[in-house]
Amino acid sequence: MKKLINAPGNYVDEMLDGLVAAHPYLARAGEEGRVIRRASAPRRGKVGIVSGGGSGHLPLFTGYVAEGMLDACAIGNVFEGPTVGSCVEAIQAADGGAGVLRLYGNYGGDRMNFDMAGEIAEADGIESTTVLGIDDVASAAPEEGAKRRGVAGILYAYKAAGAMADRGASLAEVTATAADAVARTRTIGVALSPCLIPGSGAPSFTLGENEIEMGMGIHGEPGIWRAPLRPADEVADEMLDRLTADAPLSGARQVSVLVNSLGATPLEELYILYRRIAQRLAADGLEVVMPLVGHYATSMEMAGVSVSLCVVDGAFMELLAAPTSCPFWRGAA
């Protein structure tokens, strides 16, 4: 595994410099430069939405700072959560006077720092709420759903809450929309090969020459099983079975599906998987609306995919279909 980088210690800062250079509607902010915010000032009266987490998951998290989605992100080193200071600065950057939603994945360190940041912001007069992404069905049993990790499915919450905030909804309403999006969404991943943390000599985990791991997390957290590589359709079937067994599908007629590359897995393979998933869902009487196929939440050059299922109805679909300037959101209604 080779990385086209400079000094590993500069990896995150150089990456963020490139990101804002390529996307002038973004700006770096914060004492450590670890906040990505919209370059324009927050719209007065609009609820702000912040997210954040470790680096190494582009376009997550910073790529979703855009009109119609997030207002700011606090970003840490590779696979390490942002500091409390950066979290506070992200909340401040997102503050338009109507409160700020903290919307991020359920990881212990991130929670601690974002919670502390929320208290500091409150002392500054900025009201804020929290919704956690908990979409990874492989990370805890259904009855312990609140313990699940957040992975690619948080995208649906970004999009829906972002659209709600743009409509001028209150903090309570935007928070409820994000929580609703999380409740509608389930994700599972499968890993084919690891990634390399810059500066570390060894891969993030090891898999045998012909081995895959079902349910592995995006930082290499242990999954459900390891076994030899299987045909794509078998893998898709198992992933879909695990998602449909868990998702709130009772009475559902429409779902959105996100087939996400964890990094190295190419679009060709994503479409092969999507084909099977769409066939299966159609056979189950479910209509797929706004399929998302591509690189949405990665672990650098890790090979593998995640599949997310989001149960959609008319009102929720309007939020997904609302306009956004985000170049990484490629949904079409």
What residues make contact with its own copies under the rule CB under 8 A?
Answer: 1-7, 11, 14-19, 21-23, 25, 55-56, 58-59, 63, 190, 192-193, 210, 212, 229, 231-233, 235, 263-275, 278, 291, 293-295, 298, 300-301, 303, 305, 325, 327-328, 330, 332
CB 233 within 8 A of CB 271: no
Q: Which one, 4 or 41, has the nearer CB to its own copies?
A: 4
Q: Which one, 186 or 295, has the nearer CB to its own copies?
A: 295
Min dist CB 266 to its own copies, Å, is 4
Q: Is the peptide bond before 316 cis (omega within 30 degrees of 0)?
A: no
23 is annotated as an active-site residue: no
Min dist CB 229 to its own copies, Å, is 5
Reading the block at residue 231, the tokens are: 């045909």
219 is annotated as an active-site residue: yes
Q: Which one, 6 or 170, has the nearer CB to its own copies?
A: 6
Q: Which one, 140 or 322, has the nearer CB to its own copies?
A: 322
Q: Which one, 178 or 255, has the nearer CB to its own copies?
A: 255
Min dist CB 26 to its own copies, Å, is 11
Tell me whether strands 303-312 and 185-193 are parallel, antiparallel or unpaired.
antiparallel
Residue 211 carries which side chain, given as an amino acid letter?
Answer: E
Q: Is the dihedral of CA 54, 56, 60, 62 positive or negative?
A: positive
How far apart are alpha carbons 232 and 88 in whole angstroms?
43
How far apart are alpha carbons 197 and 194 in whole angstroms?
10
Catalytic residue (one of 46, 219, 242, 276)? 219
Catalytic residue (one of 57, 148, 149, 159)? 57
Of the candidates 177, 133, 173, which has an alpha carbon nearest to the alpha carbon of residue 308?
Answer: 133
Min dist CB 8 to its own copies, Å, is 11
How far apart are alpha carbons 333 and 323 in whole angstroms?
11
Radius of gyration of the chain (CA): 19
* Residue 133 CB partners (closer than 8 Å, separation 6+): 103, 104, 105, 106, 149, 150, 151, 153, 154, 157, 182
Min dist CB 29 to its own copies, Å, is 17
**Residues involved in catalysis:** 57, 219
